[in-house]
Amino acid sequence: METPDKLHVLILGSGGREHALLKACLRSARVASVKVAPGNGGMALEAECLACNISRPSEVLELVRKLSIDLVLVGPEVPLAAGVVDVLEDAGVLAYGPRAAGAQLEASKVFTKNFLVRHKIPTADAASFTSVAPAMEYLAQRPFPAVLKASGLAAGKGVVIAQNLNEAEIALREMLEAKIFGTSGDEVLIEEFMQGEEASIMLMVCREQYLMLPPSQDHKRVGEGDTGPNTGGMGAYSPTGVVTSEIETRIRKEIIEPTLRGLISDGIDYRGTLYVGIMVTDLGPRVVEFNVRFGDPECQVLMPSMETDPVEIMESIARGTFRAADVRLRPGATLIVVLAAHGYPAAVRIGDAIELPSQLPEGVDILHGGTQRQPNGALVTSGGRVLGIVAHGATLAEAAQKAYTVAPLVRFAGCHYRRDIGARQLRRDGVA
């Protein structure tokens, strides 16, 4: 018999990140029931998946009331930027994620750059433009490579690293004139190129209180050796040795603490995940970007790293009662290999039948991102990043060995994946 204080949870989203959150809910003693909107083919085997336009807060609220939901976990950035948490909280519903004022940190790169400069947080020099000619005049005086970013939400694909003026002009015209990112490219941020190694810092924030999860590293490029175009992420691992204890101390003092103070001083009640993209440079850590939700695929490697129930943490943050000292993390390392569809990250083919192994080794899970279940029960591809092989081990080498043992056992036409996730860290560890 369920206890009265158990939670009825709704997860918003349909990717691998949301599947990881679903797994956490299914393991949680705090959860009486969990549903997903809209979900995907793999999640539908574990929970009821419901049709809903999650970018429309009023539609989400209607569904929440119909289902008598106690807690909503918001996976992607679009509903956050649309103000879904504002609408839910104003209606008395607990929701994990920042309100729209805080979601601007991801929804507008220009807003974020101004925030970082105003609060003296280390980041790249930059300027913003709404037309091509002045942007080109600015670039003519700047060194290359240069980083061009569509200011608005672009599903992780609105960044171009231009090697020269010609490449920059092509990218600017595509963003500002051809509108390849729609209104997200109405304004473009041009940044200096920062030399160094990237790391992803995920914080679970409750105003001035925060939990820093183990640093992770995403692999954005589609090809091995970090070649080819950017993607939403081809794999990740945690923890990463690029964030040494000294670097972590600097990140806390120079970036995290002034960011949280800045949010409070700006009148922003920030409760939810804050993803800080860091470049570790010769000058120290500098902010590449902020996101206002768990990364995908980083979320998939971070959920297994938490010994304390992550649902309890998210609930306490939504209530405003969270205390970081109460949290325990799990030792070891976790790695995810993303299996992508034919054509990804360009035009993606969908509808290819998927074969999954009947059994998985201990410590390995398969999380669904772009999958759909047909009326006859067959599982097919429905998006670019189809599946993620997540493996936990005592060491990164053990986690990688587990993941790469399972990856070839998953079959669908056009499947491709990187075979070097975590390789840089393994070389640092003297393993590869």
Strands 31-38 and 48-49, by their bridges, are: parallel
Q: What is the mean pLDDT of the chain?
A: 95
Residue 166 lies in a domain: yes
Average pLDDT over residues 356-368: 96
Residue 52 lies in a domain: yes
Q: What are 49-91's pLDDT values in tens digits? A: 999 999 999 999 999 999 999 999 999 999 999 999 999 999 9
CATH of the domain at 162: 3.30.1490.20
Residue 21 lies in a domain: yes
Domain boundary pick from 61, 83, 99 = 99
Residue 16 lies in a domain: yes
Domain boundary pick from 192, 221, 251 = 192
Residue 421 lies in a domain: no
- Band of pLDDT at residue 4, cut at 50, 70 and 90: low
Residue 22 lies in a domain: yes
- Specify whether 83 is located in the same domain as 146: no
Q: Which domain holds residue 11?
A: 7-99
- Specify whether 38 is located in the same domain as 77: yes
Domain boundary pick from 50, 82, 99 = 99
Residue 209 lies in a domain: no
The total domain count for the chain is: 2
Average pLDDT over residues 123-137: 95
CATH of the domain at 28: 3.40.50.20
Tell me: pLDDT of 104 over 60: yes
Predicted TM-score (pTM) of this structure: 0.93
How far apart (Å, rounded) are the C-alpha atoms in residues 309 and 9?
14
Ramachandran region of residue 283, left (φ > 0), alpha (ψ -120 to 50) or beta? alpha
Residue with tokens 């950035």: 77
- Specify whether 66 is located in the same domain as 145: no
- Specify whether 17 is located in the same domain as 95: yes
Residue 134 lies in a domain: yes
Tell me: pLDDT of 270 over 80: yes
* Amino acid identity for residue 393 in this structure: G
* Token pair of 59 as six digits: 């539609």
- Band of pLDDT at residue 1, cut at 50, 70 and 90: very low
- Specify whether 172 is located in the same domain as 92: no
- Specify whether 51 is located in the same domain as 93: yes
- Specify whether 131 is located in the same domain as 88: no
Q: What are 319-342's pLDDT values in tens digits? A: 999 998 889 999 999 999 999 999
